[in-house]
Each structure stands twice: as structure tokens, then as C-alpha cells.
Amino acid sequence: MKQINLNLRLLMTLVIASLFIVSCSKEEPVNNDEPQQQDTSEVRSSAEIDHASDAMDDISLDVYEIQEQSEINRSTANFNLPDCVTVTVVMEQNYREITIDFGTEGCLIHGNVLKGKIILTYTRDPEAQEVLITKTLEDFYFNVVNLEGGKSILKQLSNENGNPQFTKTVDLTINWPNGAQATRTGVKIREWIEGFGSGVWSDNVFEITGNWSTTFVNGNTHSYEVIIPLRREVVCYFFVSGSMDVQRTNFGGVFDWGDGNCDNMATFTFNNGEVIDIILQ
């Protein structure tokens, strides 16, 4: 479950919403369809960014946690990655540099081909309540998309609610093979609200908050802001509750996952108040 990208499911659902808008505009002049079709294409591109970003985070944080645990236990780290991935750890006093090298030919991980390197650096202090991890990319490709830049990840052992929390600040440039380009900036916070330390995977529950935006070279911006924290129970395929404000070039509104049931039903409320039901795939 940890490899499932729920933001991708949200955004691809919004592709359907975009197509819904186009289908309802047949009485408009033909040339009005072009920006809507362009917006739909940008929705797909934005979804690809989320998919790549979250998949990188899953791998990076897993490697970081495994390395930390191995040092605490004084054991050999088993990163549970394919043989095509090389993990190199440089230790200098309390400083750590972890290079995750996927090679130049590409490595298939969870259905995606990764190439290049992810480099994590941080100062190790087992007693610290906060650890700042810097992530940079080197000649990195996620499938056919090239990503440049990096992130900072602030790990808090215990936030104000007494829960572990990761705060991710992103600043990426994304390049597609067809020459398209976009930037992604923002902050995403993942709080581990249930199951921490139990040793049982199935009882883990997270809440996601934050805001982020994608800006394309033509100036179009797609922005997202979590209104009600998105609740992710790992035993469920989808978010079970929470809502997000979504603003696109040609439409906007609120995407809502409901009130806690584990199902594939959601709603999208357009800015004009119109509500449509969404069946998540």
C-alpha cells in the first residue's frame, strides 16, 4: 500500500472533471475548446509530477529509516531494493550522505523505471527531536520525465500532538521529452496519527495537510490546498476522509473524500456550486 500514489488518483479523477466541462460546452464557439483541452493535458502532467514526487519520497524515506535503524541496532542495512539499485552511505562523525543510485540504464521499481541518483544528506543525532534531511537529484529520470532540483524533509520525532511528522518542502523543475516544462513548489505535511511503534503495519494511519502548486511555461498555474486533513488508513485503497481546494486555469472547486468510509466514492464541488459524484478507479 505504501507505494500507491493517492494524489495521482485524485488528479486523474480531475481529468474526468475536465472532460466533463469540455463535453458541456458544445454550444460554445469551437475555438473556446482549445484552452480547456490544454488544461486537461496539464492535469495529466501535474498528475505525473505527483506520482514521481511521492514515489521518490517513499523510496527515500524508507532508505533513511532503514539506515537509521541499522545504526541503532548495529546491524547491516537491508534496503529491500532490486539489485539494480546501489545504496552508498558516507559516514563522517554525525554527518551522513546516502546516495541511491538507479544507474544510467534504468531500474524497474514498483512498475516505474528510475534512472540517475537521489542524494540524501543530514546530520545524525539520535537524541534530537528534529532532523533536517536534504534531498537532491542528479541526472534523475522517473520513467521518461527528467526532474531537477530537490526537497528538504523535516522529520519531527514528536509534533505538538505527540506524533511523528514529516514536513516536505519541494522545489522541482520537470522536463518532458516533448520539450514541455513545469515547476512544482509547496509544502506537504504527513503526520503519523495511529499505529506508530506498534510493529503492526495494518494499523498505521496518516493525515496529510499542506499546499502546493504547479506552474507551466505558458504561465498556467494549478494550485492545491488541503482544507480538511486527508486521512490515509493503509488498509484502505483510497483516502477515507478530508477535502482539498483545487484551482485550475479554467475551473476550480473542492474535492471531498467523504466522512470516513473506506470506499471509492467522492464528490467535486465546482466554484459555481455545482456538485458531481466521483467514482475513484
User: Concatenated DSSP letters for 123-151?
Assistant: E--TT-SEEEEEEEEEEEEETTEEEEEEE
Total structural domains in the chain?
1
Instruction: Supply the pTM of this predicted model.
Output: 0.76
User: What radius of gyration, in Å, describes the C-alpha atoms of the chain?
Assistant: 20
| Residue 57 exposure: Cα atoms within 13 Å on the Cβ side | 22
- Kindly state whether residue 19 falls inside one of the protein's structural domains: yes
pLDDT of residue 235: 83
Distance CA 11, CA 45 (A): 9
- Kindly state whether residue 164 falls inside one of the protein's structural domains: yes
pLDDT, tens only, 85-131 = 999 999 998 899 999 999 999 999 878 899 999 999 999 887 888 99
- Kindly state whether residue 16 falls inside one of the protein's structural domains: yes
Phi, psi of 124 (to 5 degrees): -85, 125
- Kindly state whether residue 269 falls inside one of the protein's structural domains: yes
- Kindly state whether residue 255 falls inside one of the protein's structural domains: yes
- Kindly state whether residue 109 falls inside one of the protein's structural domains: yes
- Kindly state whether residue 273 falls inside one of the protein's structural domains: yes
Tell me: pLDDT of 238 over 70. yes
Q: Which domain holds residue 190?
A: 6-279
- Kindly state whether residue 1 falls inside one of the protein's structural domains: no
Q: Give the whole-number percent of the chain exceeding pLDDT 90.
A: 43
